[in-house]
Chains A and B, each alone.
Chain A
């Protein structure tokens, strides 16, 4: 079984595994002064040479944000965030009109992505993944653009989409996550600086996986990217995102927004391996990951599938959701979340069943170790029109050590008698007999835990595209480093 070989390799990696993405890149940065007011919003918009309507939209978002208060319902604790004490825009210093091709991109930057193992260069075409890389707030390079353009797929940075395809952006932006949706989404809508844009035309099956790699590099900055994916009738796309950040003592804010729109019979598969810096073993530093992700299954028989592996961040606040509007549309959520040391995760999903015959599946695996606190928070809502809707939810929690916590908070709301909703949750620790079995075959305790945890999370990992599945398995083991023995 190949997975076993991979797992063994994983466990070998564990021996030297700490947060190996924690380096910082020395690169000339353009940073605007700290603080946030309307002028900053205008400045960001001006820097991106945005049209008037987008500036207006940002300002509306900013005003909405000012009237909102930070949510406190999540089971996470952190000192108050001073939103004035951060830079809201940091970009690698660009030539006057930005890089035209990879050759023009700062080589230091490319070396960064090489270190991260991102196949930015075209010669790594064999990897077969088109990548859009976002460095701090700005998209620095997108590969395979031409090849995608041949079939009509648009895959570019958000800023470029605003310039090149304003009609598409204007039509869809904010239609799934409105600018005033919640505190963090409003903040993002006001100050987002870049992100990815994907448009799959009618009937097209995107010929390769699309991938975005997010990197926070600059100090004292927040990252606020925005992703918008539109899949027209009968199209298909698989999209991956990965994230890392340098190791720093202070906490950094990441507040992203992702909007997905699937029209008739379209399918969007969205996979995330989130590995932002989690902070050190004492809980110092790390990213605050406050993210709004939502997909709308607008069309009949459309499908949106979220898969996430959450190993990083000091705090994760994230609920990738599906609005199942189209008749017979399908929503899926597969999640593995690990909290070790002092990490806190409050994550889950919302499945809003509006249309008839809609179906959703939720599989959530939470692993807590060290002093980690891991909460699954999910909502399944069946509206009166959602005749014959179906939901199945499975939430399992694994506890490693007696200082951590695992919590499950599902909300189930049904207003249609023909709907069927099933929810199951279990909490347990690694069984002694499983450990003993592995130990008796010569695995160390740490290796055994890595193996068992991978088995526990397998249902979710198998949903990941191959390239990511391998990385994710390694991450699981590394994240649990030092949690046993």
Chain B
């Protein structure tokens, strides 16, 4: 009665990328270092097994990668002396890391005068010098079986490595990742960033992905973040890729006892964006905040998928994600909270809200609780709808034109999410980005 088992042939798009790995692997940074080679090989295997996941794979139920699969990508060959115009967000006085098409560009970065105990290096350099300390982080935090992060492991050429010594307050550091697509062919790059905070260290990281040019590129990013006991990382991410870009990101975080990971992700760019976060709380009293907003217009597709693993008692996690959709945009939120048997006294909260502003927009949400401990307090909420008619009426009755009234309400909705960012200057940056987005989109009458 069982259907014959069909062994799927590896799809051409997948084998093309695997061929690239086979051809490059002797020249990639860290080649011939056994553990690096093994790590790349595991990644290639995960990609071979999973390929570009289809919608039949539960984790990709709502995101269709066929446009990505059908695009033929070439190597990003940027002349090392190119001096692109940096986005205005790259300003400020703090230390700055510039990645150009996924490559660490020391010449464009601002790394002089770093405090003691703050190290910022290029992953390619560290891999070439066989820095053994990397072993505890690289490939150790991101799940090994995910296909696209697997491809990243196989092909990663560079990335930023930030290491803060125990007890050091590193202030602010800015990452400016710039994607530049040539207009005649599509390029792909697979940067891998590592952030390691020693016990009691703290850092505020502004992490921006910006795009330039009219062409198509694919940024397939993986970031691995390790927070030692009592460390504190504020991670504000602004994803503002080029309109025709593909952006797939996995941020894997390990939070040890009493440490805190406080993040906010604003998604406003790329034609197809998948922002995946896997966070594991490994020690008591660790805290996690995974907030964000997705601004999706036109034909764009934005997907936020998070997995929070409570693997220790007395931890807290909370999450608020808001999505605004216009045009024919599609938004996805998938959030899973997994509470292990040992994780008694867990406090978990999750809220996702979506605002649909056009008849053709679509939102798919899947909040999920998986709980194996009994002494826990976990809840989630989800709402989907349009702007409140009463609120609109109230504003209009006070003489505010409809378009403006809508703007006020949409901004209020988003400000509510952005207000979760404690740093005032960062809040301003994010609000400026949401305002700019709202000014750009076509307003349906």
**A and B interact:** yes
Where the two chains meet, the residues of A that have a C-beta atom closer than 8 Å to any C-beta of B are 65-69, 73, 83, 382, 384, 397, 399-429
Query: A414 to B369, Cβ gap below 8 A?
Result: no
1/0 per residue, CB under 8 A from A, across B259-281: the answer is 00000000000000000000000
Query: A426 to B379, Cβ gap below 8 A?
Result: yes
The reply on B385 being an interface residue by CB < 8 A is: yes
Question: With A401-B374, A414-B384 in contact, do A423 and B363 touch (Cβ < 8 Å)?
Answer: no
Contact partner, B361, options A401, A407, A417, A422, Cβ 8 Å: A417
Query: A422 to B363, Cβ gap below 8 A?
Result: no
Query: A409 to B374, Cβ gap below 8 A?
Result: no
Closest B residue to A422 by beta carbon equals: B383
Query: A425 to B376, Cβ gap below 8 A?
Result: no
- Name which of A83, A423, A427 has the most chain B CB atoms within 10 A of its CB: A427
Query: B369 to A417, Cβ gap below 8 A?
Result: no
Stretch binding the partner chain, chosen from B167-175, B350-358, B395-403: B350-358
1/0 per residue, CB under 8 A from A, across B82-114: the answer is 000000000000000000000000000000000
Question: With A408-B368, A414-B384, A423-B382 in contact, do A384 and B359 touch (Cβ < 8 Å)?
Answer: yes
Question: With A407-B371, A412-B365, A414-B356 in contact, do A426 and B382 touch (Cβ < 8 Å)?
Answer: no
Question: With A399-B371, A407-B371, A419-B384 in contact, do A425 and B362 touch (Cβ < 8 Å)?
Answer: no
- Name which of B360, B365, B375 has the most chain A CB atoms within 10 A of its CB: B365
Question: With A406-B371, A420-B384, A421-B384 in contact, do A412 and B2 touch (Cβ < 8 Å)?
Answer: no
Query: B386 to A418, Cβ gap below 8 A?
Result: yes
Contact partner, A414, options B354, B357, B366, B375, Cβ 8 Å: B354
Question: With A408-B368, A417-B358, A421-B384 in contact, do A427 and B344 touch (Cβ < 8 Å)?
Answer: no
The reply on B436 being an interface residue by CB < 8 A is: no
Alpha-carbon distance between A423 and B354 when the two chains are bound, in angstroms: 12
Residues of chain B from 369 to 417 with CB closer than 8 A to chain A in the complex: 369-386
Alpha-carbon distance between A423 and B380 when the two chains are bound, in angstroms: 8
Query: A412 to B384, Cβ gap below 8 A?
Result: yes
Alpha-carbon distance between A68 and B380 when the two chains are bound, in angstroms: 35
Query: Within the complex, what minimum Cβ distance (angstroms) separates A182 from chain B?
Result: 15
Contact partner, A421, options B58, B366, B368, B382, Cβ 8 Å: B382
The reply on B79 being an interface residue by CB < 8 A is: no
Query: A406 to B369, Cβ gap below 8 A?
Result: yes
Alpha-carbon distance between A166 and B381 when the two chains are bound, in angstroms: 48
Closest B residue to A369 by beta carbon equals: B374
Query: Within the complex, what minimum Cβ distance (angstroms) separates A64 from chain B?
Result: 11
A-B contact pairs, 7 of them (CB 8 A): A397-B369, A397-B371, A412-B363, A414-B362, A422-B383, A423-B365, A428-B378
The reply on B341 being an interface residue by CB < 8 A is: yes
Contact partner, B359, options A65, A73, A416, Cβ 8 Å: A416
Alpha-carbon distance between A425 and B351 when the two chains are bound, in angstroms: 10
| Residues of chain B lying within 8 A (CB to CB) of residue A400 | 374
| Residues of chain A lying within 8 A (CB to CB) of residue B381 | 422-425
Alpha-carbon distance between A83 and B356 when the two chains are bound, in angstroms: 47
Alpha-carbon distance between A403 and B443 when the two chains are bound, in angstroms: 53
Alpha-carbon distance between A265 and B345 when the two chains are bound, in angstroms: 49
The reply on B367 being an interface residue by CB < 8 A is: yes
Contact partner, A402, options B367, B369, B374, Cβ 8 Å: B374
| Residues of chain A lying within 8 A (CB to CB) of residue B361 | 415, 417
Query: Within the complex, what minimum Cβ distance (angstroms) separates A13 from chain B?
Result: 26
| Residues of chain B lying within 8 A (CB to CB) of residue A413 | 62, 362-365
- Name which of B357, B368, B377 has the most chain A CB atoms within 10 A of its CB: B368
The reply on B3 being an interface residue by CB < 8 A is: yes
The reply on B425 being an interface residue by CB < 8 A is: no
Alpha-carbon distance between A429 and B346 when the two chains are bound, in angstroms: 12
The reply on B67 being an interface residue by CB < 8 A is: no
Query: A73 to B384, Cβ gap below 8 A?
Result: no
| Chain A interface, >50% SS class | strand
Contact partner, A417, options B62, B359, B375, Cβ 8 Å: B359
Query: Within the complex, what minimum Cβ distance (angstroms) separates A385 from chain B?
Result: 10
The reply on B77 being an interface residue by CB < 8 A is: no
Query: A408 to B382, Cβ gap below 8 A?
Result: no
Query: Within the complex, what minimum Cβ distance (angstroms) separates A472 from chain B?
Result: 24
Query: A69 to B370, Cβ gap below 8 A?
Result: no
Question: With A424-B379, A424-B381, A426-B379 in contact, do A408 and B369 touch (Cβ < 8 Å)?
Answer: yes
Alpha-carbon distance between A203 and B360 when the two chains are bound, in angstroms: 39
| Residues of chain A lying within 8 A (CB to CB) of residue B133 | none
Known contacts A412-B366, A425-B381; 8 further A-B pairs (Cβ under 8 A):
A397-B369, A401-B374, A406-B369, A410-B365, A420-B384, A420-B385, A423-B383, A424-B381
Query: A69 to B2, Cβ gap below 8 A?
Result: yes
Alpha-carbon distance between A424 and B366 when the two chains are bound, in angstroms: 12
The reply on B445 being an interface residue by CB < 8 A is: no
Alpha-carbon distance between A83 and B378 when the two chains are bound, in angstroms: 40
Closest A residue to B356 by beta carbon equals: A417
| Residues of chain B lying within 8 A (CB to CB) of residue A415 | 361-362
Closest A residue to B332 by beta carbon equals: A413
Alpha-carbon distance between A408 and B376 when the two chains are bound, in angstroms: 14
| Residues of chain B lying within 8 A (CB to CB) of residue A417 | 356-359, 361, 385-386
The reply on B9 being an interface residue by CB < 8 A is: no
Query: A69 to B374, Cβ gap below 8 A?
Result: no
- Name which of A67, A408, A414, A415 has the most chain B CB atoms within 10 A of its CB: A414
Query: A427 to B385, Cβ gap below 8 A?
Result: no
Query: A421 to B371, Cβ gap below 8 A?
Result: no
Query: A69 to B365, Cβ gap below 8 A?
Result: no
The reply on B1 being an interface residue by CB < 8 A is: yes
Query: A411 to B386, Cβ gap below 8 A?
Result: no
Alpha-carbon distance between A80 and B197 when the two chains are bound, in angstroms: 48
Which 10 pairs, one residue from A and one from B, show the smallest C-beta to C-beta distance? A417-B356, A399-B374, A423-B382, A421-B384, A420-B385, A417-B386, A412-B365, A408-B369, A426-B379, A427-B378
Contact partner, A425, options B1, B379, B383, Cβ 8 Å: B379
Question: With A418-B386, A419-B385, A421-B384 in contact, do A428 and B376 touch (Cβ < 8 Å)?
Answer: yes
| Residues of chain A lying within 8 A (CB to CB) of residue B1 | 65-66, 83
Query: Within the complex, what minimum Cβ distance (angstroms) separates B179 from chain A?
Result: 31
Query: Within the complex, what minimum Cβ distance (angstroms) separates B202 from chain A?
Result: 32
Alpha-carbon distance between A382 and B369 when the two chains are bound, in angstroms: 23
Alpha-carbon distance between A425 and B371 when the two chains are bound, in angstroms: 12
Query: B374 to A411, Cβ gap below 8 A?
Result: no
Contact partner, A410, options B2, B356, B378, B382, Cβ 8 Å: B382
Query: B369 to A404, Cβ gap below 8 A?
Result: no
Closest A residue to B362 by beta carbon equals: A415
| Residues of chain B lying within 8 A (CB to CB) of residue A421 | 382-385
Query: Within the complex, what minimum Cβ distance (angstroms) separates B17 from chain A?
Result: 29
Question: With A413-B364, A419-B385, A420-B384 in contact, do A426 and B2 touch (Cβ < 8 Å)?
Answer: no
Query: Within the complex, what minimum Cβ distance (angstroms) separates B321 from chain A?
Result: 13
| Residues of chain A lying within 8 A (CB to CB) of residue B386 | 417-418, 420
Alpha-carbon distance between A68 and B2 when the two chains are bound, in angstroms: 7
Query: B367 to A423, Cβ gap below 8 A?
Result: yes
| Residues of chain B lying within 8 A (CB to CB) of residue A65 | 1
- Name which of A384, A404, A424, A425 has the most chain B CB atoms within 10 A of its CB: A425
| Residues of chain B lying within 8 A (CB to CB) of residue A83 | 1
| Residues of chain A lying within 8 A (CB to CB) of residue B354 | 414
Contact partner, B379, options A73, A410, A427, Cβ 8 Å: A427
Closest A residue to B369 by beta carbon equals: A408
Alpha-carbon distance between A417 and B385 when the two chains are bound, in angstroms: 6
Closest A residue to B325 by beta carbon equals: A417
Alpha-carbon distance between A483 and B17 when the two chains are bound, in angstroms: 54
| Residues of chain A lying within 8 A (CB to CB) of residue B58 | 73
- Name which of B359, B360, B374 has the most chain A CB atoms within 10 A of its CB: B374
| Residues of chain B lying within 8 A (CB to CB) of residue A68 | 3
Query: B374 to A404, Cβ gap below 8 A?
Result: yes
Alpha-carbon distance between A411 and B61 when the two chains are bound, in angstroms: 11
Closest B residue to A412 by beta carbon equals: B365
